[in-house]
Structure 1
Amino acid sequence: MKKIIECIPNFSEGRNKEVIESILDTLRGKEGVKLLDYSSDCNHNRTVVTFIGEPEAVENSILEMASAVYKSIDMTIHKGEHPRMGALDVVPFVPVSGVSMEECIELANRVGKKIADNFNVPVYLYEDAAKCIDRQNLANVRKGQYEGFFEKIKKEEWKPDYGPAEINIKSGCTAVSARVPLVAFNVNLGTDNIDTANNIAKAVRHIGGGLRFVKAMGVRLEDRNIVQVSMNLVNYEKTSVYRAFEMVKMEARRYGVSVVGSEVIGLVPMAALIQSAEYYLQIENFSLDQVLEKRIWE
């Protein structure tokens, strides 16, 4: 592949394995793309997918996947802990190799328009593809979630970038973007008190006065009877994984709560893990070139 784009679609189903597999089958064995990873969570009721490919192949594949998602998922009956506004909730494009951010923005616009035209679904552009500053932050776009969009979409300032100014009752709305890589990082707490998780999330996230490139919220894990601080690190180079982790631990101590584990959702850049290894091992003058596998890949 001379040009490589990463696509990380999130769809609103994390419990029905048959539905999940049927959606993923649209990506398997396709020329020009490779399914790298997927992660389903029953509490969030959401699946996060990562695939890569050449621009044209990625475009064709995400549209085929969209068709399967809209056919299989009914938002009128969807319930889950993770915020969502539609069946195919978000579709971010990330430049990986031989591709500029401008090309990913163009792709986001083409795909957004085709989703709107082909499936009658309102589409919003966010992050680097946003047409106005109020839509750069996905949290602003998705505020109100599926249920709130029946009224929100009627407001002039929330007219979609593509598609009808009326929510698709079954499929909801979809957000499409071009962005830099992010790290989806969750920290599990040794308590079932959701207020504690929410308070910690508020302290850690940027809009609450916390870390600049962190979005965070409290989530209840019903199957484990605990709560977690669920985070998106939208620029791991400027706000590292270890810094977010340490701040969650520090805030948790205020409530007498321990951290019992953490998890990464989807794929993570090697550099993000190397940063954490350097910090916790106190390695001096470490270089990514010292990683054996990296040198072998070269």
Structure 2
Amino acid sequence: DVDIAKKIAKAVRFSSGGMRYVKGAGFLVRGLAQVSMNLTDFEQTPIHRVFELVKREASRYGVQPISSEIVGLIPKKALEQAAEWFLQVENFDSSLILENRLAAVMGGKMAVGGLRAGVEPFIEQLAAPTAAPGGGSAAAASAAMGAGLATMVASMSRGKKAYAAYERELSDAIARMSQVREELKAAIDLDAESFNTVMKAYKQAKDAPDGESLIKAALKQATNVPLSVAQRAREVMTVAELLGPITNPNMKSDLTTAVALGRAALEGALANVEINLESIKDQGFVADTRHKAEALRT
């Protein structure tokens, strides 16, 4: 009965008071009543949740869906979410899917040889007798790992019935930590590059008429990079602490680690800020930067 499909669509779509990010209408397709839907943000409103609501609404009218179909293309992650929900897989992670793991290895996103192989080159670069990468890059990496842990914990609680009341907070945390994580990963290289730029500026200053300006600009950039890392690290700590009461308590140790990594990154980054400020003659810049740094410590 297409009228039932229209009633279900009305109950499901957001414009009629239903679920956010869902558009829907009822049609007669190939002789069968169909609830046709368009999900505009599957991460905020997952497919499985919409499908379950359609089933519940249908049962009110004494009917049940006999099949579903996908029109056009669908993100792989959306299907992974549905599989996790309907199979009730514990501690599901997309890297457990064989094709995903192979794609990661082939694309260079995951090292062959396990997790150690992925981080070992960076650790060995830190250990090498060269000034860069150094503490600034290590601080950025530490904060990025903290953001990764916070994202993991929030992701593994979002969509679970026990934490349905915190869906918005969890989604916001995932979105923000994902962005912060990318910024921090970029800062790993930026910090090393800014140090090299300072060294280059000192060499060029010997023969350049604007040598002092070159050094000044390079030092300020070398200061702003770790200051930004410190700001992101503080944010990682804040989000990880906020996630504690609204996520699975069995993952408390992961959040504790995230906070600790953020704190280590904060201290390391601010130490790099301070050592650069000692060489900067612009007292206005120095005072403003120290004020920002002090605010992050409290």
Q: Normalising to structure 1: TM-score of the pair?
A: 0.34
Task: Report the structure, 1 or 2, having the larger helix content.
Answer: 2
Task: Report the structure, 1 or 2, having the larger strand content.
Answer: 1
Q: Normalising to structure 2: TM-score of the pair?
A: 0.34
Higher-Rg structure is 2
